Amino acid sequence: MSAELLRRTAELAVDFLDSLPDRPVMPRQHVAELREQLVVELPETGEDPSAVIEHLADVGGRAAVAMAGPRYFGFVIGGSLPAAVAADWLTSTWDQNAGLYVAGPAASVVEEAVGAWLIDLFGLPPTSGFGLVTGCQMAHFTCLAAARQSVLERVGWDPTTQGLFGAPEIQVVVGAEAHSTLHTALQYLGLGRDRVHVVPTDGEGRIELSGLAETLDAIPADAPLIVCLQAGNVNTGSFDPIRGAIEIVRRREGAWVHVDGAFGLWAAASPELVGLVDGIGEADSWATDAHKWLNVPYDSGLAFVADAAVHARAMAPPHAAYLEYGPEQERDEVSWVPEFSRRARGFTMYAALRTLGRRGVRDMIEGTCAIARRMAAGLAEADGVEILNEVVLNQVLVRFTPADGGDADAFTREVIRRVQEDGTLWLSGTSWHGMAAMRISVSNWSTTEADADASVEAILRCARG
Ligand SMILES: *Cc1c(COP(=O)(O)O)cnc(C)c1O
């Protein structure tokens, strides 16, 4: 009975995956309709499992956004490689608790493999600590907890045992274009979302080195200091000048440099793009996502900390703070992440990385960037279309001016609305330097040149009215 249910479910899942390239990218269903179908009285006695799953697959499937499909260009999303989906099924089936080695030995060892591969691919210090977390927000949380630990230990304070009350004040520096999740991590860590020094950014969203130097000059020399840089601006894809910034910060002994590389860190895996992250290995911590550009299912992010000992001191629960795990010792995941019980999320990354290989990761990153450039070029050829950013990575910002020379902000928003309604592709808008802009992010392994061309055609059709 249960074997039959699970086989049937696999069939339903495969049918959904097969439909991805052709279904409207955004479902046309109203929230009221969905509630009507899904929010029922909790039954007194249980319903038939097959009936529940068939119903869920039908309603949930019809309402599912084709995010994993080839023409979803919204936010920075990514799809899921088939091997990663398959590994995700196994992960649920095995139902391991990946907090302790004894609760899932393979889960623990697979994370060791993934951590080592990525440290190598990204060019990070080989002895870095790492943790597999839910996403980049929690990766920031993990890295900045280690940062907080390090900068306070240097002034004789242990935030792990003493908390923050009475602690020397930590100064946090961020770029004006820092991602909101970085501020959220500061919020959770007691460092204050708004209590930051903000460094001005240039036209592409990169911090200005002169501004960074001036900001640091205004902070007392002995203050515990954390500086946050960005590799991959969520609008333009641009990178802070990382080597130059780290050189400036290193004039301050004990200062910590954290890098938000949610998607941009993956540039380090490409010889063509690695120049964009020049110097990145000199930082102290790095946060990234696997559910975006590595194309594994949610939820999957990674935190790396150069000083593994301080990483474990910040994260490990009481009595679990050992970190020597050699051939004879096991790695307990609880020492490296904020969670205790957790999903064995290493399996999907393991499957993705092994099936891609070094070459495949590189091809996927470079390929999506090439498609972004292709779309930018195709759009730029049309009258009244302007590309607002230097397309250095996989992000494109587009602005539309109406033929009568009218209000470009209103017209750009109208074109985005029409594209969303058209259904060929999905993307959203943003505001860039006070201007309305269409935002294209190419992050999906399955997007082809044909998808790119069909999408450009659909966008231009919508712009013509
Ligand atoms: C997506 C993103 C984040 C947040 O990542 P989550 O995985 O959604 O938590 C942080 N920074 C940047 C630059 C991003 O693009």
pLDDT in 10s for each residue of the chain, 465 residues: 699 999 999 999 999 999 999 999 999 889 999 999 999 999 999 999 999 999 999 999 999 999 999 999 999 999 999 999 999 999 999 999 999 999 999 999 999 999 999 999 999 999 999 999 999 999 999 999 999 999 999 999 999 999 999 999 999 999 999 999 999 999 999 999 999 999 999 999 999 999 999 999 999 999 999 999 999 999 999 999 999 999 999 999 999 999 999 999 999 999 999 999 999 999 999 999 999 999 999 999 999 999 999 999 999 988 765 555 667 789 999 999 999 999 999 999 999 999 999 999 999 999 999 999 999 999 999 999 999 999 999 999 999 999 998 999 999 999 999 999 999 999 999 999 999 999 999 999 999 999 999 999 999 999 998
8 A C-beta contact, residue 315 and residue 142: yes
The total of other beta-carbon atoms located within 10 Å of residue 259's CB is 29
Give the strands of the sheet with 385-387, arranged side by side: 385-387, 395-400, 435-441, 428-432
Ligand 1 and 289: CB distance under 6 A: yes
**The pLDDT of residue 320:** 66
Ligand 1 and 137: CB distance under 6 A: yes
Residue that the structure tokens 């474990």 belong to = 312
- Please write the tens of the pLDDT for every residue from 383-436: 999 999 999 999 999 999 999 989 999 999 999 999 999 999 999 999 999 999
- CA 430 to chain centroid, in Å, comes to 18
**The pLDDT of residue 1:** 62
**The pLDDT of residue 332:** 93
- Please write the tens of the pLDDT for every residue from 187-209: 999 999 999 999 999 999 999 99
Smallest CA-to-CA distance from 67 within 464, 392, 445 is with 445
Cα(383) to centroid of ligand 1, in Å?
34
DSSP codes of every residue in 23-52: S-SS----HHHHHHHH--PPPSSPPPHHHH
Ligand 1 and 179: CB distance under 6 A: yes
Ligand 1 and 270: CB distance under 6 A: no
**The pLDDT of residue 325:** 64
**The pLDDT of residue 173:** 98
Residue of 138, 207, 234, 441 to mutate, ligand 1, most atoms within 8 A of C-beta: 234
